[in-house]
Amino acid sequence: MAKIIDGKEIAAQIKQEVKQQVEDYKKEGITVCLAVIQVGEDPASCVYVRNKKRTCEDLGIKSLSYELEEETSEEKLLALIDELNEREDVDGILVQLPLPSHISEKKVIEAINPKKDVDGFHPMNAGALACGEEGFLPGTPAGVIEILKRSGVEIDGKECVVVGRSNIVGKPMAQLLLKENGTVTIAHSHSRNLPEITKRADILVVAVGKPKMITKEYVKPGAVVIDVGIHRNENNKLCGDVDFSDVSEIAGAITPVPGGVGPMTIAMLMKNCLESKRLSKKQAD
């Protein structure tokens, strides 16, 4: 039976560390501030945005909330981003995705000042990661690395397989594992003989977006399995891309859904807000 990795507990540790530093800044009269923009009322986005704002509040980070109606024009959204880019009191700008179809996500992401792009989605930050330079990392893959490190999982020299190649998870995940000296394979929907590829993994990160797709036939006994997926099953219960009860029979360690990677994404976002403040302060000093 696999060790269950408690992402909620690890996220709590990180949030506590951020909270402490936010308090230290407060003693110097410095406030950390995140602007959160949501366009429309996508139900999943509403839950995510509420969690982000609540976590800001818990950690003493100020959050500015912009809830724009579905019909908001791209021009108006871009003007708001410009305004927030200029404001010295704003450390991070987060535009919740997906956006309504009449707004270009690419234009919106590229409009955010990369120094305030705490989601790490701007091409400048993606490029910095690819070149091994400093920049903001997207919360989910950065959270996976943190989970592995804080659970004592060695990455150096290990066979790492990432299933999924999105800009938000798969690609940055592979880059980060490579940075930690893993031997990295990216598999995706066109990969042939997927179980053969995933069975090579000492560390298997799954971000395919298909409920319970990964069963024990895909997993090497003893492997560390990280599940990035989140879905609601037929009984309205949360589940991941990995069939947890099946895979936990043979894996060495596994993240559950809920309580695995999910809580880490927000914790790392909060860490990025703090880092943004540290960098702008350093530049001003």
Chain positions contacting ligand GUN, by CB under 6 A: 94-97, 119, 139, 265
Nearer to ligand GUN, 106 or 281 (CB): 106
Nearer to ligand GUN, 174 or 261 (CB): 261
Taking the alpha carbons of 139, 227, 260, 155 in that order, is the dihedral positive or negative? negative
Q: 95-98, long-range: CB within 8 Å, 24+ apart, which pairs?
A: 95/37, 95/39, 95/119, 96/36, 96/37, 96/38, 96/39, 96/45, 96/48, 96/49, 97/45, 98/42, 98/45
Nearer to ligand GUN, 142 or 201 (CB): 142
Active-site positions read 52, 96, 119
How far does Cα 136 stand from its chain's mean position? Answer: 11
Q: Residue 119 CB, nearest distance to ligand GUN (Å)?
A: 5
Q: Residue 94 CB, nearest distance to ligand GUN (Å)?
A: 5
Q: How many CA atoms lie within 13 A of 43 on its CB side?
A: 1
Q: Residue 256 CB, nearest distance to ligand GUN (Å)?
A: 19
Instruction: Round the CA-based radius of gyration of the chain to a whole number and report it.
Output: 19
Nearer to ligand GUN, 68 or 97 (CB): 97
Q: Residue 266 CB, nearest distance to ligand GUN (Å)?
A: 9
Nearer to ligand GUN, 97 or 238 (CB): 97
Nearer to ligand GUN, 72 or 96 (CB): 96
The DSSP code for 138 is P
Q: Residue 26 CB, nearest distance to ligand GUN (Å)?
A: 26
| Adjacency order of strands within the sheet including 33-39 | 62-68, 33-39, 92-95
- Tell me how far apart the alpha carbons of residues 133 and 127 are, in angstroms, rounded to a whole number: 8
Q: Residue 139 CB, nearest distance to ligand GUN (Å)?
A: 6
Structural tokens at position 42: 């996508």
Q: Where are the alpha helices (DSSP H) in the chain?
A: 7-27, 43-59, 74-86, 105-111, 123-130, 139-150, 170-179, 194-198, 244-247, 262-284
- Contact between 55 and 265 (Cβ < 8 Å): no
- Tell me how far apart the alpha carbons of residues 36 and 78 are, in angstroms, rounded to a whole number: 14
- Tell me how far apart the alpha carbons of residues 172 and 177 are, in angstroms, rounded to a whole number: 9
